[in-house]
Amino acid sequence: MTVNLLDFGVEGLTGFCAEIGEKPFRARQLLRWIHQSGVADFAGMSDLAKVLREKLAATAVVESPRVISDHIASDGTRKWLLSVDSGNGIEMVFIPETNRGTLCISSQVGCALACTFCSTGRQGFNRNLTVAEIIGQLWWANKALGGESGSEEAESSVNKQEAVQSPGRSRAISNVVFMGMGEPLANFENVATALDLMLDDNAYGLSRRRVTVSTSGLVPAMDRLRERCPVALAVSLHAPNDALRDQLVPVNRKYPIKELLAACQRYLQSAPRDFITFEYIMLDGVNDSISHARELVQLVRDTPCKFNLIPFNPFPHSGYQRSSPEAVRLFRDVLMQAGLVTTVRKTRGDDIAAACGQLAGQVLDKTRRVQRTGHEIMQATR
């Protein structure tokens, strides 16, 4: 049976090498060839013995999801649709900025959590992505963008010999965010294995502070992440009280705000940053009044945090409207006056539907969303 080496994390690849009778250092060589140099053809892995290259060619492949379409928006934002199997597709977005390049990746085909304002949530859920499908997004984008990913920290650790071998290589992707399709913490093991690869110096060498998991608030999995692989955390809060959050983010009925904030406090004990980023979508007339902002200030008064206000990105039949710029400004001012660092997310890639919450992909829904209640959907995600 052929194995896909993109499915292996650092440990898995070492185990695979042991199985085929190779020493652990071969795993490090393979990691570098596959993830740093983006090489998929074993014949090109010049420092591996010919016998090993032939053995690998007979038993393994390096295969990422296949690109179906590629669009570039007027602001430089780039969106790819990737096929993960027949009928299912995921989306991935690259956002270039002056000082960084952020790749926004998906963790599931669809999402079972059914937030009412989210296009992915509306489409239902098919399955978790495999490790190869998650890390394969970074692997592929890295190649497509013509550079090697990495943070300044990793850059300084590049040895001289490598620098000579690949002069002038750029680092197009400096940051990765799990803000595409799906709830990353509902696909815990595969996401954690992909995170290990993102951070490993033999693979992508990204800094923990530059890899962000965004969650709608799966409390037990937040604790697991803290123990297993603490990276930067963004929490989709979206409401200042349980009554409203129950409506917008149905999983709140299972993990209400008080429990969520307690999990944030625990996470901060191991987090690479000393604050949690709260994402707050701005929905006209729903959660965007000055009194909501004041309630929010009270709610988070004991939690070190920053706010990221996200103007709602519309999609067909959403039933919501984006808050006016004036409402966003007033809301931000209340938070700022209370001493909370608050940014308003710029809407990127508008003309190609690449903004947050607009990623649609192709989802063969298995949850029969329309026939089911939110309660049943939550049961299914246990």
Provide the annotated active-site residues. 91, 356
The region of 39-47, 115-123, 135-143, 259-267 touching ligand SAH under the rule CB under 6 A is 115-123
Tokens of 328: 């966003």
Q: How many CB atoms lie within 10 A of CB 250?
A: 22
List the one residue from 216, 252, 287, 342 that touches ligand SAH (CB under 6 A): 216
The region of 1-9, 25-33, 110-118, 364-372 touching ligand SF4 under the rule CB under 6 A is 110-118
Q: Which residue has the tokens 């650790």?
A: 157
The region of 61-69, 288-296, 306-314, 370-378 touching ligand SAH under the rule CB under 6 A is 306-314
- Cβ 300 vs Cβ 278: under 8 Å: yes
**Residue 281 binding: pick among ligand SAH, ligand SF4, none (C-beta 5-8 Å cut-off by kind):** ligand SAH
- Cβ 102 vs Cβ 119: under 8 Å: no
User: What single-letter DSSP state applies at residue 93?
Assistant: E
Rule CB under 6 A: is residue 214 a binding residue for ligand SAH?
yes
- Determine whether 99 is exposed, middle or buried from the number of CB atoms within 10 Å of its CB (0-12, 13-18, 19+): exposed
List the one residue from 137, 187, 190, 236 that touches ligand SAH (CB under 6 A): 236
Tokens of 170: 């750029």
List the one residue from 31, 45, 114, 179 that touches ligand SAH (CB under 6 A): 179
Question: Cβ of residue 222: shortest distance to ligand SF4, in angstroms?
Answer: 13
The region of 12-20, 75-83, 117-125, 202-210 touching ligand SF4 under the rule CB under 6 A is 117-125
Q: What's 248-315 look like in SS3?
A: HCHHHHCCCHHHHHHHHHHHHCCCCCCCEEEEEEEECCCCCCHHHHHHHHHHCCCCCEEEEEEECCCC
Smaller CB distance to ligand SF4: residue 145 or 251?
A: 251
Smaller CB distance to ligand SF4: residue 115 or 221?
A: 115
List the one residue from 109, 192, 271, 310 that touches ligand SAH (CB under 6 A): 310
Q: Which residues ranging from 189 to 228 are in contact with ligand SF4 (CB under 6 A)? A: 216
Task: Of 2, 1, 64, 56, give the one whose Cα is nearest residue 27.
Answer: 56
Question: Cβ of residue 73: shortest distance to ligand SF4, in angstroms?
Answer: 21
| Beta strands 101-104; 88-96: pairing state | antiparallel
Rule CB under 6 A: is residue 182 a binding residue for ligand SF4?
yes
Q: Which residues ranging from 265 to 284 are in contact with ligand SAH (CB under 6 A)? A: 279, 281
Q: Which residue is nearest to ligand SAH (CB)?
A: 357
**Residue 88 binding: pick among ligand SAH, ligand SF4, none (C-beta 5-8 Å cut-off by kind):** none
Question: Cβ of residue 355: shortest distance to ligand SF4, in angstroms?
Answer: 13
> Considering all CA atoms of the chain, what is the largest pairwise distance in Å, rounded to the nearest integer?
70
Distance CA 302, CA 117 (A): 28
Helix axes 131-144, 188-199, angle to 10 degrees: 40
State residue 280 phi and psi, 5-degree precision.
Answer: -140, 110
Smaller CB distance to ligand SF4: residue 80 or 204?
A: 80
Rule CB under 6 A: is residue 305 a binding residue for ligand SAH?
no
Rule CB under 6 A: is residue 91 a binding residue for ligand SAH?
no
Distance CA 120, CA 113 (A): 9
Task: Of 189, 104, 205, 197, give the one whose Cα is nearest residue 152.
Answer: 205
Question: Cβ of residue 294: shortest distance to ligand SAH, in angstroms?
Answer: 22
Distance CA 286, CA 290 (A): 12
Smaller CB distance to ligand SAH: residue 229 or 310?
A: 310
Task: Of 206, 209, 82, 61, give the one whose Cα is nearest residue 144.
Answer: 82
Rule CB under 6 A: is residue 232 a binding residue for ligand SAH?
no
Residues in contact with ligand SAH by CB under 6 A are 117-119, 178-179, 183, 214-216, 236, 279, 281, 310, 312-313, 356-357
Residues in contact with ligand SF4 by CB under 6 A are 111, 113-115, 118, 120-121, 182-183, 216, 236
